[in-house]
Amino acid sequence: MPQPRRLRSNLRFPIFNFQFSIGSSPPAAWAKLCVGLALGVVLLTAPAFAATAIVRLKDGKTVITGEVVKHTPDDVTIKTQAGEQVVKWDEMKPASAYSLKKQLLDRKDAEGALRLGAFCLEHGMRKEADELFRQAVKLDPSLAAKVSEAKKAAGIQEEEKPGEPEEKAKPDAKAAKSGKKGDAAEPATPPKDIKALLVAQRARAKDANDKVGTKLVTEETAHFIIHTDFRDRRALGQICERYYGELSRIFGLGRNEPLWDGKCVIFFFSDEEDFQKFAEKVDNFAGAQQASGYTMLQKDGREIHIAIPQPKAEDATTGIQAFFSTLIHEIAHAFLHCIREPFSPRPWINEGIAQYFSFLNDPQYPRWATHKRLLKQRLASGSLRPLNSLLAMDTMPAADTEGYAMSWSLVEFLIKTDARKFTTFIQQIKGRTQQEDALKNAFRTTPENLEAVWRQYVQNNY
């Protein structure tokens, strides 16, 4: 039976209960990995991930899958296995066209969001249209008038009656004209397209191998598609599934509740250089040098992939611990993004939870002691930032050690206080309840009260 290359020693350990000896680890290796992790787990929502197209044509049968090489207002060029193919936007089912346009939309392109919103309106995708309009106006408030115009042009008055589009007006009107009312009710990702998506997700090993020169092989489990050059792929798959089970429990995932589209795709590289090349050539992500892994999320969508290298470490066991901490951290991000409505919650929740799972996975990891020390010191010197400013953060820079430490500790505290209430809290947050309300509903507390009891907890326990 084939043995894993350098992973062998760890695969015997039960997950979440690593009985792991640190006695033989040289301190230098710990320090290095701590820095690597502190700088490193990166979470991205990026147009870079938009390169894969899965489009269904209006005949309802033809599905074209491949990489987008070019797109214009009229058409998109897709590199399929059979060669490049130019597909006109108005040949596609509107829901398919919407999905792909959304992927290709630059997050900062206000006009683009407006145009796509108008397209959605025209095809009866009201919810999607409203969201895009909101996005457009948020980026450029002067577009509010144009949004009203677009709604008017689509026959929507203040009372928001759905109506037929009028002929004049919208930039995309010509390309988008479908003429088939039956398309209107389709969800953004029609269920049948998941099959095509899975085919594409499985094919990503080949794509990576072509671009990076790796020899990735695919292992598929119930919820994951793993592309890796590790020899013991099955063990990796089993570990991912066990993590999935743990996360489902804490997040209260229902039996038939949708999570990610297709499966969660994970790339594991035994060579860190391959990981770097992959980040650059496949994900167009230049920031991977400092990262011990990253997750690519489809913005407002449910497609996910994760890339993780096996860390370089003098001590193999230390490297393995870091590797699994990163793995659970990233899967937790993916889970949290996709559960209920697809979006990533505020960083204190997102990073707090991801770190909490790394912590469960390896309570001996030095980072937790560092976090505790830092919090206690700042509390004693009166320099710890107020909780409200942490709760208000929209982004958390990787270098914000205090922010990471507070996030981890708060989540740990809330889960220890009552894990079931924490599940309720997350469910509410992912149902778009404001965090103050979710705290009140789940824990019967306010941020002020929470701050007081949490500070006491830090004082007494760290």
Using CB under 5 A, list all residues that contact Zn ion: 41, 351, 354
| Shortest distance (Å) from residue 333 CB to Zn ion | 6
User: Alpha helix locations (H) across 179-271?
Assistant: 193-202, 204-212, 233-251
Element (H, E) at 273: helix 272-281
Q: What are 327's two structure tokens?
A: 């793995």
Q: Which is nearer to Zn ion, 91 or 351 (CB)?
A: 351
Our CB check for Zn ion shows the closer of 229 and 246 to be 246
Please state the separation of Cα 459 from the chain's center in Å.
Answer: 34
Nearest to 80 by CA among 207, 219, 218: 207
Q: Which long-range contacts (CB under 8 A, 24 or more apart) does 130-135 make?
A: 131/300, 135/110
Residue 408 CB, shortest distance to Zn ion, in Å, is 11
Q: Considering the complex, what minimum distance in angstroms separates the CB of residue 45 from Zn ion?
A: 13
> CB-wise, 121 or 336, nearer to Zn ion?
336
- In the complex, the smallest distance separating the C-beta of residue 439 from Zn ion, rounded to whole angstroms, is 22
Nearer to Zn ion, 98 or 323 (CB): 323
Pairing between strand 83-88 and 217-220?
unpaired
Query: β-pairing, 63-71 with 75-80?
Result: antiparallel
323 vs 443, which CB is nearer to Zn ion?
Answer: 323
Instruction: Please report how close the Cβ of residue 41 comes to Zn ion at its closest, in angstroms.
Output: 4
Cα distance between residue 125 and residue 140, in whole Å? 22
- The answer to whether 94 and 173 have CB atoms below 8 angstroms apart is no
- Give the nearest distance from C-beta 332 to Zn ion in angstroms: 8
The phi, psi pair for 274, rounded to 5°, reads -65, -40
What is the closest distance, in whole angstroms, from the C-beta atom of residue 40 to Zn ion in the complex?
9
Helix/strand/coil for 415: helix
**Among residues 354 and 374, whose Cβ is nearest to Zn ion?**
354
Question: Residue 341 Cβ, how far from Zn ion at the closest point, in Å?
Answer: 20
CA 120 – CA 132 distance, rounded (Å) = 9
The residues, any chain, with a CB within 8 Å of residue 136's CB and separated by 6 or more, are 110, 111, 113, 114, 117, 143, 147
CB 285 to Zn ion: min, Å: 15
User: How far apart are alpha carbons 151 and 121 in whole angstroms?
Assistant: 8
Q: Could you give the CA distance from residue 270 to residue 265 in angstroms, rounded to a whole number?
A: 17
Q: How far is the CB of 354 from Zn ion (least distance, A)?
A: 4
Specify the residue, 41 or 129, whose C-beta has the smaller distance to Zn ion.
41
In angstroms, what CA-CA distances link 183 with 58, 105, 125, 189? 9, 22, 9, 12
Q: How far is the CB of 295 from Zn ion (least distance, A)?
A: 8
The CA–CA distances, whole Å, from 17 to 38, 193, 223, 310, 359 equal 23, 39, 23, 21, 11
Shorter beta-carbon distance to Zn ion: residue 41 or 375? 41
Q: Which is nearer to Zn ion, 49 or 98 (CB)?
A: 49
Q: Which two tokens stand for residue 273?
A: 């250089």
Q: Determine the residue with CB nearest Zn ion.
A: 41
Which structure tokens are listed for 113? 């969001």
Q: How far is the CB of 329 from Zn ion (least distance, A)?
A: 6
Residue number, 224 or 357, with CB nearest to Zn ion: 357
Q: How far apart, in whole angstroms, are the C-alpha atoms of residue 229 and residue 372?
A: 37
Angle at 221 between CA 217 and CA 222, to 5 degrees: 150
Instruction: Please say which residue, 37 or 92, places its beta carbon nearer to Zn ion.
Output: 37
Distance CA 236, CA 245 (A): 14
Measured from the CB atom, the residue of 317 and 409 that comes closer to Zn ion is 409
